Amino acid sequence: MTQRAGARLWSQSELCALACHDLAAKEKMDAFAAYLSGLVVNVGMMVGLRLMDQMSGKGVHDIPRAGEFYRSLILQAGHLSHRIVEEWGFPENVIQALGEKAGQDAPEAMSRLGRILCRCDQSSKLDLLTDNQRLPAEIAASI
């Protein structure tokens, strides 16, 4: 799992980090904190995928294939990213932004950095899907 998804996740994280940096600079905010937020947005997912790799390496072949499992994985990966940056001692505003994103707070309840992170994460995912021609035509046409 990690080998297949790792490079794409890292590419998306880099795109997100650069977008966060640029948008924060434009809004006269701490561009470095914004960059860090985007760079680590997927760290929890990388850990989750690595754990799945370890499970499959031990003969465990029952990794769920259901959509509900993956929706839950995405949600829990966000919480894990938040906890990891807390543990690593990242700046408080970065920790807060990742926590807001993981908690799926309403945009009006988020900090400015939290809103930037969510916006840039979504945008970078769409860019990656578009670049790899993986976005359904009806969605691509509405963007």
pTM: 0.86
Is 33:27 a contact under the CB 8 Å cutoff? Answer: no
- Tokens for 142? 């509405």
- Count CB atoms within 10 A of the CB of residue 62: 7
pLDDT computed for residue 61 by the predictor: 58
What is residue 77's predicted lDDT score, i.e. its pLDDT? 96
Q: What is the dihedral of CA 135, 140, 142, 143, to 10 degrees?
A: 100
Structure tokens at 22: 């640029």
Residues 126 and 36: their CA atoms lie apart, in Å, by 20
Residue-wise pLDDT tens digits, 56-103: 765 555 566 678 888 888 899 999 999 999 999 999 999 999 999 999
- Coil, strand or helix at 61: coil
Q: What angle do CA 94, 97, 99 make, to 5 degrees?
A: 110
Closest among 11, 35, 33, 40 to 21, alpha carbons compared? 35
Per-residue pLDDT at 109: 95
Mean pLDDT estimate for the chain: 90
